[in-house]
Amino acid sequence: MSNSFGHGGDWFSFQDESGQLPLDFSANISPLGVPYGVRAAICAAAEHADAYPDPECRELRAALSEHEGVPASQILCGAGAADLIWRAVLALRPRSACVMEPTFSEYRAALCAVGAEITPSLGPRTEMAFLCNPNNPTGELLSAASVRDYAARCRASGVVLLLDNCFLDFTDHPDPFPLEPGVLVLKAFTKLYGMAGIRLGYVMSTDEELLDRMAHMGPPWAVSTPAQAAGIAALKETDYVERVREIIREERPFLERELRSLGFLVVLGSANFLLFRSETPLEQPLRERGILIRNCGNFEGLDDKWYRTAVRTHEDNCRLIETLKEVIR
């Protein structure tokens, strides 16, 4: 089996004779790890692992309803954001879709699976559009007004918009998009709560019939009992979220300055990662020194001189910078 995994976070492929795990900058995950309350909830949920999980995630959706201020009937939970992206595409099966790249590769992957034409702008044949805000991998954050304008253009043309807000809560002033007809708002627990291994995301929409179709576009019991318990516990971790935001607020400018001082071209971002360009190959030399970084050569519109790094703790970020100095010396 060939390794065609096209995302960050693949530390399983890391080989180290000492048995040490790598310092992973390739995945944009909270640098604080899994919150204690979430870990406790996962352990407690194991007691009920002999029973099937609630297929409708009733308790989790009720908690999300209170957290997001939308009816529980307008929320669908899934096994991470990627699962819900694929379910949306399979439910709609658009003949043509708009994807402004470079952006998250699962949009294109899901669309190609149904044979959709992919275009960079809205056109007369467009039936679905994707908007990632802040965008991955560039970190570009669109204003609330810009998002509303784009959603209005989609709605006027009968285009279903999937608005990917998975990184929005890392920004200084997260501005949630109010649910409107024709819009799917996607969020996940993966990044902000450090729950990548749990696989939990959710999508919100006023189109409950579309959510029902999405629910049937994949296997049942998509969200395990431990994942449901973890999500409920995570929503109570308000102090943890503030600590994460504070770290990103302080460390992103520091990491940007240090990368620029080494001669890299850095794209100014608003999330918990930075995109930069290096004329010197970095991925393998860093891997040999125990650090993983994301090569962005498989993003449409970018080549293998582009890299994405997560923003981590100050200690971790300093180690990355010192190691980069060794590599480019």
Asked whether 280 and 317 are in contact (CB, 8 A), the reply is no
Q: What does the pLDDT read at residue 22?
A: 87
Cα separation, 273 vs 294, in Å, equals 10
Give the three-class secondary structure for 39.
Answer: helix
Buried-exposed string 231-243: b where 16+ CB fall within 10 A, e elsewhere:
bbbbbebeebbee
Q: What does the pLDDT read at residue 285?
A: 96
Q: What does the pLDDT read at residue 329?
A: 85
Comparing CA positions, the residue from 154, 157, 156, 196 lying closest to residue 30 is: 196
- Give the residue carrying structure tokens 């201020």: 69
Residue type, 163: L
In 10 A of CB 305, how many CB atoms? 16
Phi, psi of 105 (to 5 degrees): -70, -20
Cα separation, 72 vs 59, in Å, equals 10
Q: What does the pLDDT read at residue 21?
A: 78
Cα separation, 180 vs 177, in Å, equals 9
Q: What does the pLDDT read at residue 1?
A: 32
Q: What does the pLDDT read at residue 274?
A: 98
Cα separation, 201 vs 176, in Å, equals 16
Q: What does the pLDDT read at residue 178?
A: 80
Cα separation, 106 vs 219, in Å, equals 19
Q: What does the pLDDT read at residue 10?
A: 56
Q: What does the pLDDT read at residue 34?
A: 96
Segments in the chain below pLDDT 50: 1-3
- Give the residue carrying structure tokens 């049942």: 220
| H or E segment to which residue 309 belongs | strand 306-310
